[in-house]
Amino acid sequence: MLRVFFSIIVRDMKVILNSGTKVFMPVVYLLLILTFFSISLENTTLGGYRNILPQIIWLACLLVSLLNMDILYREDFEDGTLEGIVINSELLEINILAKIFSYWFFTIIPLVIVGVIMNILLTGDVNTSYVLFTSLFLGTLAISLIGSIAASLTLSIKGNNLLLSTIVLPLDIPILIFGTSAVYNSAAGISYSSELLFLLSLLILFLIVSPFASSIGLRNSLD
């Protein structure tokens, strides 16, 4: 079971590393979004900007993850690999978890790291940056698990990015609210433990639900 899990992660890592400049595009999108937000807030005081920056980073990571969620199964679907996995795999749910984890680790975690580093450099608030990292770590993995369900359901639809985002965004809003609340409370010196516990609870819930729901979606999309 673990051998299958890690073999898929290694395979996806090689595909991502061989994709050339595509591997850097999510980080470029993140930096562009943060730049546009900064320009629109040029009249904001320095203190106000420092307070709102972690929440902007949270929103930017969410938007970039939505833009890239279609790639979760798309390439394997187009080259026929996915059909072979679905037909021949006795542990399809393990394969799906490995796909989700590799997507999250190699596509989303770089965004989280860059966002946290920028927050430290621009605000100097290490404690809030720690809370930002923790909330993004929990929240983005939950978002990836939700995205897997939507990606599996819309896989056979051409140009499905808009439909996928429409399905995922309402489910991501509670994660965004509690993630940004955690960093806001940290900056304000208020307890943020309940927000992080809520994110952890959602993560555990979707860790259980997503592999099974995604396997049903993939089978339906391939029929």
Is the pLDDT score of 81 beyond 70? Answer: yes
Instruction: Count other C-beta atoms under 10 Å from residue 27's C-beta.
Output: 16
Q: What is the pLDDT of residues 31-60, one digit of tens each?
A: 888 888 777 766 666 566 677 888 889 988
pLDDT (mean) for 65-75: 79
pLDDT in tens, 97-145: 988 998 898 889 989 999 999 889 888 889 989 999 999 999 999 999 9
**Position 160 confidence tier, pLDDT thresholds 50, 70, 90:** low
pTM of the full predicted structure? 0.88
> Given a cut of 90, is residue 221 above it in pLDDT?
no
Annotated domain spans of the chain: 2-222
